[in-house]
Amino acid sequence: MPMLKAGSSAFYSNSFLIFIIRFFPSLANLLVISWYAKMLPQSVYGDYSHFWIQLSVFYPLICFGIHMLAITYPPALLSRLVNALLKRHFVLFGIWAVAIGSAFAALQWLKTGIPFIIPFCFIICYAFTFILESFLIVYSSFKTLIVTNVIYSAAYWLVHLYVLKNSFSLVALFAYLLVVVIVRMLVYLFVAFRSHSSFPVAGNRETVEKLNIKTLWLHLALYDVVQNASVWIDKFIISLVLSSGMSAIYYNGAQNVPFLPLILSAAASAALMQMAGVQHQESENIRALMNKTGKVLSCIVFPVFFCLFFYRQEVIIGLFSVKYVAAVPVFMVSLLVLPVRAYSFTTVLQRMHKGAVITAGAIGEIVLALLLMYPLYRLAGLPGVALSFVISTYLQAAYYIVKTASLLHVPVWAILPLKNWLIKFTVTGIIIWIVHYACSEYPWWLSLGMGAASMTVIILSMLYYEICYTGGRGKA
């Protein structure tokens, strides 16, 4: 498998760089959420979280899959596609962005009283920055991205600190954050324009039918919108129908595990970039690459899952204080979705232009979750809402893996490192359970520290084994 062996270093380095780019903003956000949850009254914190919940639902509508399409192609072909765009394409995109931005801004104005212009400009710039970031990743502008995001993260934190220390106001907070977002967007725009202008466009041998590109883009757009909705729609609905205090409890309990989505996204993007560099992909090469991705991701996902599951109460109290102890059951149920994150289920489908399959899975997942949400809420309260999305996510993963195996003409177990996963899952669970049990009499912060230390040792040990000893081998 020469392609896999030759590209292994690129896979790991690209994954790491993409992760680092997004690590610092996520870290700053985690610190701010933890701090604000402790310092603000629940109702005020709930109003603050409403802005981010609703932003996360609306901004993917503006992006509409453009960032996902960009990462699918090599830089030369991406430059060629950009050059092929007409003026009317930009006008239509502008109209679309204004319409979505206006809806978001009106919602913030009615809900929290923030003047219309602030959330309107915020979501437009935020979405445009997200698109530009994908372009810069394809153009390998990693240094610019890392430096810019480090500075952005520091500014993000300082703005939150300043506003909290000087008579807290949501209007002032998001006005200052808007300035920070605009500056980052302008830096990205300048570097993206320069990179695009200097990069040679693809030749005829890399021609892709426009119809195929449009079809893939539409399916990726629908998938991205629906997939983001599946992550945020429960929080969005609760933010509209329940009190700010209850919304704050659910928001904290159903938080995405920090950095884990970044790791999955980085690995998927790196795999796509590696596939994009080769014209003809053999099924065996693709299978080996996806097996490798699954093995590497499981080294991180499984220890994180068990550590957070066994230490769920300590984590919630440590991050958000004892006043959010009611979020522990929600957190516990939400964690059940983590093991399935040890695999990038749509990467192969995206590369093979099977957008219809991706869209069907995404729509099916959210429809099922919405159908289950109310009955499970009546049965189990807020944890039942979280459980509805756990169930639908597992069924979606099963659908994607069956379709991928069919396209590669291999059995399902051939593209999943099942033996590798079973060993890691069992050993990791036993070790962390023993540590948790042995430290149960200690203060919560010391017990959690021991659990985090054991988790870190397990992650590093398994990653060292996978990277240094298994290398490019793709056997399950």
Burial 160-179 (b: 16+ CB within 10 A, else e): beebbeeeeebeebbbbbbe
Q: What is the mean pLDDT of the chain?
A: 86
Q: What is the pLDDT of residue 335?
A: 95
Pick from 274-283, 346-355, 357-366: least confident: 274-283
Q: What is the DSSP string of 170-203?
A: HHHHHHHHHHHHHHHHHHHHHHHHHHHHHSPPP-
- Assess contact for 346 and 219: CB atoms under 8 A: no
Q: What is the pLDDT of residue 279?
A: 46
Q: Treating both helix axes as pointing N-terminal to C-terminal, what angle do 42-63 and 170-198 enclose, rounded to 10 degrees? A: 20
Q: What is the pLDDT of residue 2?
A: 43
Residue range 39-88, pLDDT digits in tens: 999 889 988 999 999 999 999 999 998 888 887 777 877 777 887 777 88
User: How far is Cα 151 from Cα 164, in angstroms, rounded to an integer?
Assistant: 20
Q: What percent of the chain has pLDDT over 90?
A: 49
- Assess contact for 290 and 271: CB atoms under 8 A: yes
Q: What is the pLDDT of residue 431?
A: 97
Pick from 204-218, 364-378, 386-400, 454-468: least confident: 204-218
Residue 217 has pLDDT above 60, yes or no: yes
Q: What is the pLDDT of residue 274?
A: 66
Q: What is the DSSP string of 382-437?
A: HHHHHHHHHHHHHHHHHHHHHHHHHHHTS-GGGSS-HHHHHHHHHHHHHHHHHHHH
Q: Treating both helix axes as pointing N-terminal to C-terminal, what angle do 210-241 and 244-253 enclose, rounded to 10 degrees? A: 130
Q: Which amino acid is at 444?
A: W
Pick from 155-169, 381-395, 402-416: least confident: 402-416
- Assess contact for 161 and 142: CB atoms under 8 A: no
User: How far is Cα 56 from Cα 49, in angstroms, rounded to an integer?
Assistant: 11
Residue 9 has pLDDT above 80, yes or no: no
Q: Treating both helix axes as pointing N-terminal to C-terminal, what angle do 87-112 and 117-138 enclose, rounded to 10 degrees? A: 130
Residue 174 has pLDDT above 90, yes or no: yes
Pick from 30-44, 158-172, 237-251: least confident: 237-251
Pick from 200-214, 387-401, 448-462: least confident: 200-214
- Assess contact for 252 and 326: CB atoms under 8 A: no
Residue 7 has pLDDT above 60, yes or no: no
Q: What is the pLDDT of residue 132?
A: 93
Residue 277 has pLDDT above 70, yes or no: no
Q: Averaged over 174-187, what is the pLDDT?
A: 97
Pick from 195-209, 429-443, 448-462: least confident: 195-209
- Assess contact for 372 and 249: CB atoms under 8 A: no
Burial 203-226 (b: 16+ CB within 10 A, else e): eeeeeeeeeebeebbbbbbbbbbb
pLDDT band at residue 356 under the 50/70/90 scheme: confident
Q: Averaged over 149-173, what is the pLDDT?
A: 94
Rg of the chain in Å (alpha carbons) = 22
| Stronger pLDDT, 160 or 256, i.e. the higher one | 160
Residue 461 has pLDDT above 90, yes or no: yes
pLDDT band at residue 476 under the 50/70/90 scheme: very low
341, 318, 348: which is closest to 389 by C-alpha? Answer: 341
Residue 299, SS3 per DSSP: helix
pLDDT band at residue 267 under the 50/70/90 scheme: low
Residue range 187-214, pLDDT digits in tens: 999 998 888 777 665 444 445 455 467 7
Q: What is the pLDDT of residue 6?
A: 46
pLDDT band at residue 475 under the 50/70/90 scheme: very low
Q: Averaged over 251-273, what is the pLDDT?
A: 74
User: How far is Cα 324 from Cα 36, in angstroms, rounded to an integer?
Assistant: 12
Q: What percent of the chain has pLDDT over 70?
A: 89
Q: Averaged over 166-190, what is the pLDDT?
A: 95
User: How far is Cα 19 from Cα 318, in angstroms, rounded to an integer?
Assistant: 25
Pick from 63-77, 92-106, 261-275: least confident: 261-275
Residue range 241-252, pLDDT digits in tens: 888 888 889 999
